[in-house]
Amino acid sequence: MTRPSRSLADRSAEYIRKHRLTGRGDHVLAAVSGGPDSIALADILTRLQDQLELRPITIAHFDHRLRGSESDADREFVEEFARSRGLPFTCGTADVRSFGQERGMSMEMAARECRHSFLKDAARKSGANRIALGHNLDDRAEEVLMRLLRGSGPAGLTGMLPAGGEGIIRPLLFASRAEIAEYLAERGLAYRVDSSNLEPVCQRNALRLRVFPILEEVFHPEVSRTIARYAELAADEEDWWDDQVRAALDRCLRAAESGAALDLAGLRELHPALVRRVLRRVVEKVRGGAGGIHLVHIEPLFAMALRDMPGKRVHLPGEIEALQRGAPDPRRALMDADKVRWPLCVRFWKPGDRFRPLGMRGSKKLQDFFTDSGVPREQRGKIPILCDRDKICWVAGLRLDDRVKTGPRTLRVVSVRLSEEK
């Protein structure tokens, strides 16, 4: 391979700064399995400690109890590595096999769950505010292909990110396995080899050992870097999409006694691509995460959202159910009590009245709204208008003002209803 003009440690420092993975005084917990990636990660972090103004690095090792004496040797190797560097060391273990069987998980997913639970707990106990993982560029490419084949939507094709939730960072995500191997050879660093990674015993191993060699042969040797570069572009686009989704949720998400409620009229004004992302975000909000949610789950929701299907139900992983209720009662309105400029009053239409119909970006003359809504001239002066101290809140029976709509941050709701005169 072509040797980079700068060392891997220098490039890692640049990557860390570019993505703001650490800050002055951060305490980093480095997850070290003993394999080549994690040993390179720990070595680079300790070399960069002064340059990045980090507190002492804590080495964390998790024993999955899956490989008998090999696992014991891994733990001893990592502990000796930490001791030789004068670094704090912490170790955890769990019966991953039993954990997965009890929950119906694959071994790979069970191992990940147990490992991440240990790392979060170890970070809390040690006072670390960053958890460094040794994922590399090839890992990211494999993750992108895995998600694509499992039916992930566009948002999932970013693969692993440089920084994740709960303080997780990946300082080597830019580097290939070959570059990491070269760094270890140059530094004379020993590492452990996990024999289970040498057999196609799971989907990820099959991709690594069988699929990617074919892709490299048929296309080019840098196919992993090409896929990872696509993931970078996808991540940039996701930043933009995130702003669009938040704005759309602010318009369409309503207060609900439990779960979440969406205004279908407002949702149907959005581009279909945005509707799918809004639906996914709502599901994530209700479930507390996106794990196990794929495009195959979002599409039935999408179909239900765009058509009138009162009573239709869609079942989602995690015992979540989506229900389309019947048409909303036009004689009732819900308002965010903290957006209302009290007191309220009721009056009738006056020339020059304007308001911002729910779901619209700008204001509109009430006279034009009546015309567009097909309200006969002789009826316009008889429609009650609910106002607060500033503006119109509700054109009774027709449309709420967007200013006082409920949303995800609504704490108090005021309910008003138009009653028949007796």
Identify the CATH number of the domain in which residue 352 sits: 3.50.40.10
Beta strands per DSSP E along 86-208: 89-93, 130-132, 168-169
Domain-terminating residue out of 269, 302, 323 = 323
Is 250 within a domain?
no
CB 33 within 8 A of CB 78: yes
Q: What is the mean pLDDT of residues 180-204?
A: 91
Residue 153: inside a domain, yes or no?
Answer: yes
Residue where a domain stops, chosen among 272, 290, 323: 323
Peptide bond connecting 343 to the previous residue in cis, omega within 30 degrees of 0? yes
As a whole number of angstroms, the distance between CA 47 and CA 341 comes to 59
Higher confidence at residue 31 or residue 71?
Answer: 31
Q: Are 90 and 100 in contact (CB under 8 A)?
A: no
Task: For tokens 């599901």, name the residue.
Answer: 283
Residue 1 falls inside a structural domain: no
pLDDT confidence of 163, banded at 50, 70, 90?
Answer: very high
* Token pair in block for residue 78: 């990592």
pLDDT at residue 388 greater than cutoff 90? yes
- Give pLDDT, residue 408: 65
Q: Is 248 a member of any domain?
A: no
Contact 405, 347 (CB under 8 A): no
State the Rg of the chain over Cα: 28
Confidence of residue 421 (pLDDT cuts 50, 70, 90): low
The answer, yes or no, to whether residue 291 has pLDDT greater than 80, is no
What pLDDT score was predicted for residue 381? Answer: 93
- Euclidean distance between CA atoms 346 and 332, whole angstroms: 15
Instruction: Give the per-residue pLDDT at 387.
Output: 97
326 vs 9 pLDDT, higher one: 9
Please check the confidence at residue 172 and state whether its pLDDT lies above 70. Answer: yes
Specify if 244 maps to a domain.
no
**Residue 240 domain-assigned?**
no
Q: 268 lies in which domain range? A: 255-323
Do 192 and 46 fall into the same domain?
A: yes
Check whether residue 212 and residue 319 sit in a common domain. Answer: no
Query: Which band of pLDDT confidence, cut at 50, 70 and 90, is reported for residue 256?
Result: low
Higher pLDDT, 104 or 9: 9
pLDDT of residue 328: 72
pLDDT band at 382 (very low <50, low <70, confident <90, very high): very high
For residue 327, what pLDDT band results from cuts at 50, 70 and 90?
Answer: low
Query: Which pair of tokens denotes residue 96?
Result: 């991953």
Q: CA 298 from chain center: how many Å?
A: 15
Query: Are 36 and 153 in the same domain?
Result: yes
Residues 163 and 57 in one domain: yes
Residues 152, 56: one domain? Answer: yes
- pLDDT, one tens digit per residue, over 67-110 is 888 999 999 999 999 999 999 999 999 999 898 888 888 888 88
Query: Do 132 and 207 fall into the same domain?
Result: yes
Is 2 part of a structural domain of the chain? no
| Confidence (pLDDT) at 170 | 98
- The mean pLDDT value of the chain amounts to 90
Domain count, the chain: 3
Provide the 8-state DSSP code for 357.
B
